[in-house]
Each structure stands twice: as structure tokens, then as C-alpha cells.
Homo-oligomer: A and B are copies of this chain.
Amino acid sequence: MEIRVLKNVLDKNMNQAEKNRQTLMKYGIKMVNFISSPGAGKTTLLEKTIPALQETRKVGVIEGDAYTSKDAERLQQFNIPIVQINTEGTCHLDSYSIENAFAELDLKKLDLILVENVGNLICPTAFDLGEDFRVAVLSATEGDDKPAKYPMLFRQAKAVVLNKTDLLPYINFDNEAFTKDLKNINPNLPVFETSATLGTGFAGWLEWLKEALEKEVKRV
């Protein structure tokens, strides 16, 4: 019975996600969904990513958090439209919350929406938002065993950003085991090693992201 209810919720979510995709297509907007554990560095990644994308694109952000608007406040420096969604007891964004966020944005003035999902490696993977693709962000400090323990995300993601790599000298992170597990789950998944502290790895990530955004089917 519970499973039927869940299926119902996911079916309705998928229908709304399809409507979101139609909306994005209509306005020629790409949307990327960033998923990670709490505190893996999604907001820092956006801080490093937005200025580079702003050169050629009109960027908006949808921020998902259980509580607070701390992340949205950190991104206000870029003078871009940001919608904060507080999910409270819910551990993921769904396509309905994205539809509500669309209503708060002037979609005519955007061509890219970056979605920062609620910090959680499981449920966000079950909820299609209508995005073009997903990016998995993992902090090296979470450990090399995360792809094996949370395969859904790494199976769906179009890229992995392995963040906080400046801490690798101080932790046990078996890069060989990590890479092997990732290859089993998703053989051609690119991995970008970044560190906000060292300022490294962002060039490769940004080059890939720009190319990925170009590669997607034109939607005008």
C-alpha cells in the first residue's frame, strides 16, 4: 500500500517535471540539478561557477534547503535572480516546488538555471525536476566508499565534482577504490577534483560544464 502511494507521488512528480521541461524549452533555458550530502560544497562550487557562466549566459539559481536562506544569501553577491525553497521536513526538491520557483523568476530574462538541491544523497535522485542533467558533488572527506553506498546518484550524474581535495593529504581516501567503484556504476563519468581553498580544478570543471551546456539539444 505504501509502495503504491509512493509510486503515485513519483508519477505525479514526473508529469510535473515534464511540464517544467516544456516551460524550459519554451524559454530556451537549460537547467542543471546539483546533488550532494550536506556540507559537501555545492554553494562554494556555485560561487566559483556562476561568474564564469555569467560571461556568456543569464544565470538564475533555485536554492533548496530544509531551513534558512544562508546559501541564497551567499550568492547574492552575483546580482542574479535567486529563489529560495525551504522544504522544512522534506529531504528533497520536487518538480512542483520548481514550478513554484519558476513563477518567481522572470524566465524571459534567463537562459540557465542552476538548482542546488537539499543536502541528501538518496531522495533527490528519485525526483525528476525537469532538469537537463545532474551533477554529483562529493566532499573527499565523506570517504571513497560513497559511490558504492549511494549508487543511484552516481549512475544518474553526468559529472562528479570531488571537492575539498586540499584535505586529501590528511585523510584516508583510496582513490583507486573510488575510481573502480565509479567505473562499475557509470564507466564514462568524468570526475573533476576541486578545492576552493587551493583554487584548483575549477578550470577543467568549467570547460566541461560550458561544453555540456552547448552539447544539449537546442531548445529555441
Residues of A within 8 A of B (CB): 2, 5, 9, 37-40, 65-68, 70, 89-91, 118-123, 126, 139, 141-143, 145-146, 148-152, 164, 166-167, 170-171, 197
Closest to A94 in B: B2
A66, A91, A126, A151: which has the most chain B beta carbons within 10 Å?
A: A91
Question: Are A39 and B170 closer than 8 Å at their CB atoms?
Answer: no
Closest to A151 in B: B67
A38, A122, A126, A149: which has the most chain B beta carbons within 10 Å?
A: A38
**Residue of B9, B148, B167 touching A171 (CB-CB under 8 A):** B167
Query: How far does the alpha carbon of A197 sit from the alpha carbon of B149 in the complex, in Å?
Result: 23
Question: Are A68 and B148 closer than 8 Å at their CB atoms?
Answer: yes
**Residue of B39, B122, B148, B149 touching A142 (CB-CB under 8 A):** B39
- Show 5 A/B contacts (Cβ-Cβ < 8 Å), sorted by A: A39-B141, A39-B142, A39-B143, A68-B149, A164-B171
Question: Are B38 and A148 closer than 8 Å at their CB atoms?
Answer: no
Task: Report if A39-B139 is in contact (Cβ < 8 Å); known contacts: A65-B149, A68-B149, A149-B65.
Answer: yes
A63 to chain B, nearest CB (A): 11
A97 to chain B, nearest CB (A): 13
Question: Are A89 and B122 closer than 8 Å at their CB atoms?
Answer: yes
Given contacts A91-B122, A123-B123, 5 further A-B contacts (CB under 8 A): A39-B146, A40-B142, A67-B150, A68-B149, A91-B120
Question: Are B149 and A67 closer than 8 Å at their CB atoms?
Answer: yes
A127 to chain B, nearest CB (A): 11
A150 to chain B, nearest CB (A): 6
Query: How far does the alpha carbon of A150 sit from the alpha carbon of B119 in the complex, in Å?
Result: 10
